[in-house]
Amino acid sequence: MINYFSGKLNYKAILLSFLIFPFYNAKAQVKTDETKMNEFVKNLMSKMTLDEKIGQLNLVTAGGQSKTGSVVNEGIEGGIKKGEIGGIFGIWGTNYIRKAQEIAVKNSRLHIPLIFGLDVIHGHRTIFPVPLGMSATWDMSLIEHSAQIAASEASAEGINWVFSPMVDIARDPRWGRISEGSGEDPWYGSQVARAMVQGYQGGNMKKADAVMACVKHFALYGGAEAGREYNTVDMSLIKMYQDYLPPYKAAVDAGAGSFMSSFNTVNGMPATANQWLLTNLLRKQWGFKGFVVSDYTAVNELTNHGLGDLQTVSALALKAGLDMDMVGEGFLNTLKKSLKEGKVTQFEIDQACRRVLEGKYKLGLFDNPYKSISEEREKHEEMTNDNLSFARKIAEHSFVLLKNADQTLPLKKSGTIALVGPLADNHSEMLGTWVVAGDPAKSVSVMEGIKNVAGNNVNILYARGSNITEDSLLGARSYFFGLKQLKDSRPPQEMIDEAVETAKKADVVVAVVGESANMSGESSSRSDINIPESQRDLLKALSKTGKPLVIVLFNGRPLTLTWEDKHASAILDAWAPGTEAGNAIADVLFGNYNPAGKITATFPRSVGQIPIYYNYKNTGRPFKVGDAAKFKSDYLDISNDPLYPFGYGLSYTTFNYGDIKLNKTSLKGNETLTATVTVTNTGKYAGEEVVQLYIGDPVASISRSVKELKNYQKISLQPGEKKDVVFNITTQDLKFYNEQLKYDWEPGQFIVQIGPNSSDTHLAPVRWLK
């Protein structure tokens, strides 16, 4: 080493260093991060026993921390010390996680740190709208920032792995987990998947406020038959590649660190033991370099799928490419025996172990096992004013105005309002489904929000009106993990009568109704997706008073709202808005924010239309309005059209779309088509509009969707202001998976469509040759 300072400057030494350094640097082996990781993991694995390698594949749940106060149970503590556990999920908080990590780092033979996972689905302590609601913002910067805040809050407590985002495409609103995704469109779902992964992981997972994303559920989970949870999925490869797989691929391209296998079958083989899915597609075709964990006991459940006993199915899952077994301990208890019997190889065990250790390395856990555990951050960086302000903002932006007859909304900040409904003065249902660490008691109720926003000139009269449901079966199955419906013991008619009398004294009625938090989410499929009957009875009685009726809707899925659409004056879909629910709802009701949300899943008129989605394919006998109905693809008793189409959402103002202007009507090869439309705010309020671009491919080598979303722009306009919205279209926007599953485009005519939703568009044809 050259001593540059030895009392006086050594100029010869300095000159010599400049002369030889370039040559030295050129010859030196520059170790990339990946090289360093590979060397580290290889060295560590050379010291590990077979039992310790298998232990890294074992993910357990501690469970019950809030009830018992213990960090982990006795059996788990022993397993950590023996190196039989690679990760834990289900605990949070710095105190719990630090103690659990200390057991691994200080008491296991090789001091390998644990990875700590948690269901952080739409926020950690600060809760944002359910993902289906967030997707209605059509704002990737908001969605990404929600993930950043969730990562920051969760990581402060030591969580370094979140089981999110759920990117499953869903076209059946009977399926409860539609609430956890981004709706029905693969292109839009891909944008959300990318934003969520980037928000969680940032540019460097070693940072203290970053976490590893776990993309779920791979794959096709949202295609469950009959919308019934955990049910069979069976679809063509073209449908799979074109409509369901793109968001997973987008997450891989965004650098997602881990994937979670799904419960369902794919091509007849359960995903958790599907080598084509986990190895050929995910790793070989897409280049995924992270690890794959099973869903909860999914390895054990392979037995119910008919694939064999626990030892057999554990071997199948490992050989397929599954790296980590959640809870079931099939890997832990059978792989050693399977290795001796030749049912698995040492290479397969090592490969899975290496992938799990690489995940921990990428998180920086070998550098500092306690890297993000910070009591100071936990105390000062959770549920901050900034976080709550953002929660309020993203909730406002997620709301969708479904109806607004006679400009009923926004409400005046004067007069008398009758506030009714079982969700109007309720904290327990504000957060929505799959909230693990959020505290409902810290949420803002609709009653509180209206009082905060409306001011002293508004007189609020409250009546509960009904319970969420009087159906004992629905009520019992909608509440679990010790939760209970907050029920009023009075007879239903007595509550309705009280609400009607309250409404008669008011200028306008605001009815806050819909689903409870856990009427959607996992294991919450519904065959009837109406508002529960007890609340519909309330709405019918309120409608008869003749007072303007504003429905504020809580829901985790599209509902059938034909009666409500016909009889209510206004309907505001608030989804499940999160911690700042009441404040955000009040901001929109009173016009502090003009709603601009657009739905990302079609609302049917009837469950008989399901599955229903905008990008359907034509049949040989398509029905068109005005045609004779017989022997056409339609229903005898209902329209084919949905109640609210994909991309739909109103505003307090109105927007006019001009005709589409194309820079060319005939193109060749890799030219770029420019499509321009002038959008004008023709109303009285400043507002935002989501301008949507669709493309149709009417003649192709296979039957194609009638249209597909290809882009959008969200613009803001003052009253009277107009803006030219320009879309640049390339051949990349024309590509699809053909019969050979080749992703390519074909020459011919295309229909460019631009509008405020998927049904109301302006059209412009263009011819594009190779």
Which residue, among 601, 653, 572, has the nearest Cα to 757 in the 3D structure?
Answer: 601
Residue with tokens 């939760």: 483
CA distance 705 to 695: 10
Copy the structure tokens of residue 30: 């520059």
Q: How far apart are CA 588 and CA 111, in angstroms?
A: 53
Distances (CA, A) of 87 to 59, 188, 214, 614: 5, 33, 14, 42
Distance of CA 331 to the CA centre of its chain: 29
Backbone angles phi, psi at 432, to 5 degrees: 90, -175
Alpha helices in 321-384 (DSSP H): 330-340, 346-362, 375-380
Active site residue 697: no
Q: Choose among 235, 135, 248: nearest CA to 611.
A: 235
Which CA distances in Å does 526 have to 175, 273, 278, 556?
A: 7, 29, 31, 12
Q: Which of 615, 606, 612 is nearest to 559 (CA)?
A: 606
Q: Check 139, 168, 185, 295 and give the catalytic one.
A: 295
- What backbone phi and psi angles, to 5 degrees, belong to 253? -65, -30
- Secondary structure class of 116 (helix, strand, coil): strand
Measured distance CA(150)–CA(179) in Å, rounded: 18
As a three-state string, the secondary structure of 697-739 is: CCCCCCCCECCEEEEEEEEEECCCCEEEEEEEECHHHHCEECC
Residue 25 backbone dihedrals phi, psi, to 5 degrees: -65, -35
Alpha carbon distance 361, 629 (integer Å) = 63
Cα distance between residue 539 and residue 551, in whole Å: 9
* Distance from C-alpha of 112 to C-alpha of 516, rounded to nearest angstrom: 42
Residue 63's CB is within 10 A of a number of other CB atoms, namely 17
One-letter amino acid of 568: A
Q: Are 194 and 141 in contact (CB under 8 A)?
A: no
Q: How far apart are CA 634 and CA 623, in angstroms?
A: 6
Answer for the pair 430, 581: CB distance below 8 angstroms, yes or no.
yes
User: Who contacts 104 (Cβ-Cβ below 8 Å, separation ≥6)?
Assistant: 80, 85, 111, 112, 113, 114, 369
CA distance 359 to 355: 6
Determine the Cα–Cα distance for residues 113 and 111; give it in Å rounded to an integer.
6
Q: Which two tokens stand for residue 696?
A: 């149709």
Of the candidates 263, 272, 274, the one whose C-alpha atom is nearest the C-alpha of residue 223 is 263
d(CA 625, CA 568): 27
For residue 265, report the phi and psi dihedrals to the nearest 5 degrees.
-85, 150
Question: φ and ψ at 163, to 5 degrees?
Answer: -85, 70
Spell out the residues 6+ positions from residue 119 whose beta carbon is closer than 8 angstroms to its own. Answer: 89, 162, 163, 164, 434, 436
What's the token pair of residue 615? 């990008």
Alpha helices in 47-185 (DSSP H): 50-55, 65-68, 74-81, 94-107, 131-135, 140-156
Cα distance between residue 209 and residue 155, in whole Å: 6
Paired tokens of 691: 């301008």
**Residue 705 one-letter amino acid:** S
Q: What letter represents residue 170's amino acid?
A: A
Supply the residues annotated as catalytic: 295
